[in-house]
């Protein structure tokens, strides 16, 4: 097994950034002869699959859940009880399908909220316009 170097890590992150950019860029699917081992690893790695990745140590801290986090959890559970989604669909959409930028950039329950909104629109429980109007209405209440 080859040793991990800064150069290899940077190359890997560059490839992943091209595959899962913050803003979608239309690309053509590469032909099999264009995929080397580094590209195969980047294509098959999901953002939450960080096992074996180099990282720095973090300090573990106990944290009280904030009200919005608790409300998000309850809302998502109610959506599941109502049959809008199941736990596996929620996990897949909030951990795998969001892409690395949103996975690393949003707080844990922020990904839950984003996923709930996408599911409700994708499954046509609400329209994107209805959702935007409701968000604007709530923002006005708190300004």
Give helix then strand counts, H and E, for the chain.
Answer: 7, 0
Task: Give the CATH architecture of domain 67-142.
Answer: Orthogonal Bundle (1.10)
**How far is the first Cα of the chain from the last one, in angstroms, to the nearest whole number?**
56
Question: What is the pLDDT of the chain when averaged over all its residues?
Answer: 81
**pLDDT tens profile 46-94:** 666 666 666 667 788 888 889 999 999 999 999 999 999 888 888 888 8
For residue 1, the model assigns a pLDDT of 42
Among 49, 119, 128, 41, CA closest to 84: 119
Q: Is the pLDDT of residue 17 over 80?
A: no
Catalytic residue among 103, 108, 109, 142: 108
Spell out the domain ranges in the chain. Answer: 6-44, 67-142
Query: Which is more confident, 116 or 30?
Result: 116
- At residue 96, the pLDDT reads 79
Q: Is 108 one of the catalytic residues?
A: yes
Query: Which among 76, 104, 108, 71 has a CA at the least distance from the CA of 90?
Result: 76
Tens digits of per-residue pLDDT, 94-112?
887 887 778 878 898 999 9
What pLDDT sits at residue 131? 92
């Amino acid at each position: 097994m080859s040793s991990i170097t800064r150069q290899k890590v940077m190359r890997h992150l560059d490839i992943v950034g091209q595959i899962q950019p913050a803003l979608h860029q239309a690309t053509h699917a590469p032909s099999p002869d264009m995929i080397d081992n580094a590209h195969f690893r980047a294509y098959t790695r999901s953002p939450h699959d960080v096992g074996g990745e180099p990282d720095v140590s973090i300090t573990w801290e106990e944290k009280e859940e904030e009200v919005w986090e608790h409300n998000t959890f309850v809302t998502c559970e109610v959506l599941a009880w109502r049959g809008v989604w199941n736990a596996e669909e929620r996990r897949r959409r909030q951990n795998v399908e969001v892409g690395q930028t949103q996975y690393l950039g949003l707080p844990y329950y922020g990904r839950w909220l984003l996923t709930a909104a996408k599911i409700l629109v994708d499954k046509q429980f609400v329209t994107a316009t209805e959702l935007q109007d409701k968000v604007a209405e709530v923002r006005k209440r708190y300004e």
